Structure 1
Amino acid sequence: HAFGAAQTLAGDGLRVLAVARRRLAEDEQETDVLERPPGDLEFAGLLALSDVPRETSTALVSGLYEEGVRPVMLTGDHPQTARAIATELGWPQDTVVVTGDELAAADRSARARMLRDAGVVARVAPEQKLQVVEALRDAGRVVGMVGDGANDAAAIRAADIGVGINARGSAAARNAADIVLTADDLTVLIHAIGEGRALWHSVADAIAVLIGGNAGEVGFGILGTLVSGRAPLSTRQMLMVNLFTDLFPAMAVAVTPKGDAGAARAASPEDAAGGVLGGPLVRQIRHRALTTCLGALTAWLIGRFTPGTARRSGTMALCGVVGTQLAQTLLDRRDSPLVRLTSVGSAAALVAVVQTPGVSHLFGCTPLGPAAWAGVAAAIALALAGQRALPRLEDTVRRLLP
């Protein structure tokens, strides 16, 4: 009966202490009995303690899950107590619970498999926290460890991101941490994750602007040279392209977070750390390069097959390559006033340079008429339409290729 009652109380999220007693014999002294191992104890009852979670704990857990981060609770409580508390705070009902005894009986590779999808580690000893961090890293997880005690220092140091708490933490935990929270409210971690992801997305977008745009310019230069026998753009014109596309617009993208915060969130905790660099960035660079090349090549071919000089077709190509890149940047970050200002400003500066006779000739250009500008606009529109079709085209090619 006592065991069943203890299990029930633990299942309700209470910490259970069993109380027993033994009366002293007439010839026994209390100090002597305390020196010997206890024996002949009589069960007296159960003492259930409730450790009330902080008001911000539920918001913290739900916020981490929304950001695609899977929290893992380390506790010394009974597994049933730990599961009940975790469920109350927002962990799934079917969350995996691993005990410290199970970790102690497993080798390192088995611990990695055991903890890969675990949400709670119960009955964990202080020295096992380091094993948990190492096992999660062995399982391919990016691990952040939050702790405030001296026995957390080793685990904090071993994690990818160690977080100490200054308000109530030990000096050892603070010294081992990469980040120290000055307040006691851990929900600031949610905002830190959002800010960090927004920063990485801005950096990735700026890289795509620079590398993708330059790759498209190189591709256009190679194709144009193969078709006409000479480079379609002069050295000064290429420098103008970099000036109008790589300077202010790319810098604006790098310092401006995306307005759509949901785009920075991962679909699941498993791909939370991945979704910025690697494959997505390569795809973004590839699409931008192909779009830039298509816009420039189309504008240049329209210039070649309509009445006019070679300088006119080169000027149209210049406007096509710059306009296509600025249009892509503007569409990607249309919600940013800074990106709008730099993109529109760069486009206006390009038009002013091209249409001013003396300055235009200095850069190897010539003022364009309405028909030429209409051809440039049509080339840019065609390139942007092609960019929308690229994902479907790539999927089709993948299905056709073995």
Structure 2
Amino acid sequence: MYTKNKISNRRIGLLSVLALFFLPLIFTACNDDDTEFVGDPFFIIEENPTGLAVGVSGDTKSYVVRSNRPWQIVPQGESHWAKTFPIEGKDDGIFKVIISENDTFDPRTINFVFVVDGKEQPLLFRVDQEANVPYITLDDEEKGIAVPSAESELNIHVKANVEWIYTLENGSWLTEIAVLENGIKLRAERNSGEERSTKVKISSAQHPSLDKEIVITQSAGNIILEENFDWLTYGSTIFYDTSGEKRMDSWTSDEKERGWTSTENTNSSNQQLVYARTGFVKLGKTNYGGDLTSPTLSNLEQTSNVRVTFKAVPYQTKGGTRDTNTLNIEALGAGTPSVNSLTIDNWPDYDADPECTEVWQAETAKYEFIITGADASTRIKLLGGAYDLSSASPNKNRIFIDDIKVEIID
């Protein structure tokens, strides 16, 4: 009896200790539950908007929520074109209403309701979007599409919300590769004769008033290389804005397959110091020069003299500080250039041309030289200054290059 009572007393003592330990936790948990939310529930959208009206192209708009409870945004009905992000939150926060482009010919409307702490609020948020109208648009419709004399592929970019077909006018030298939802891909045969052109007509049987035309022009057969770098879409057109430009050794495989190369600069970790911009390239960086080297002149069927023309602009900072502006010229393989270097001195005027687009159109942007004795192995190298400029003053020789053309002259 004594032993059993002793064990029982020990158990009672242990339970008492455990009870004393857990009792404050129980009360604390109860208190936490009771104080999770403070005050009466409220939900307010700043500035009290009741809806959003948007045009055909769509829109994204942000709203600030003030609340002291969990909340949800629920669409009334199915909607692939109007969404909110996030769809739920807690306390204060921000949500966006995201409206996609309306490709249909009907206006559309949807309402969103707000559920706060499990209760639907009387507030409705209405989104209205305008109906679209039938359209066909073509990129480069005004200026047309230029293709080199060599066999090449070209794309006609079509944006439309109606069914369409295309026809060619005197375009036997063009063959279809594919017709896609957003355009046409064609192949141009090599041109051995004079410059030639054709019209491509995009038409809709249901909407004949929308018909569009674009002219495709192929260079004459004596133009054996032509490059405008319109396939490069990096960075800014503004020369001194270097954000987003892309060095050649980081180009995509498709971009590298165009055949343009650059010497790996051993003074700068073997980098290829040519930088892609929006439709043109930049040679070099601080302390180091870069070169741009062309593909071989593979369309030359016999040794010839050729004229090389191109556009160039020297680098100048926003504040007006100018780089050295020497462009060295070399023919790799066969041929001898008429000059070893050119001075690029058509300095940009950022006040008159802040986007740096008009400078390319000026006659002063055009440069040329002759290569005698060129053949199918010839490559053209343009180097900004020297590969190592670290000891030079100034130690920069950056030059922008575009619109390179090589023409047989005899």
Same structural fold, with TM-score higher than 0.5 when normalized by the shorter chain: no
| Structure richer in helix, relative to its length | 1
TM-score (norm 1): 0.21
| Structure richer in strand, relative to its length | 2
Question: Which of structures 1 and 2 has the bigger CA Rg?
Answer: 2
TM-score (norm 2): 0.20
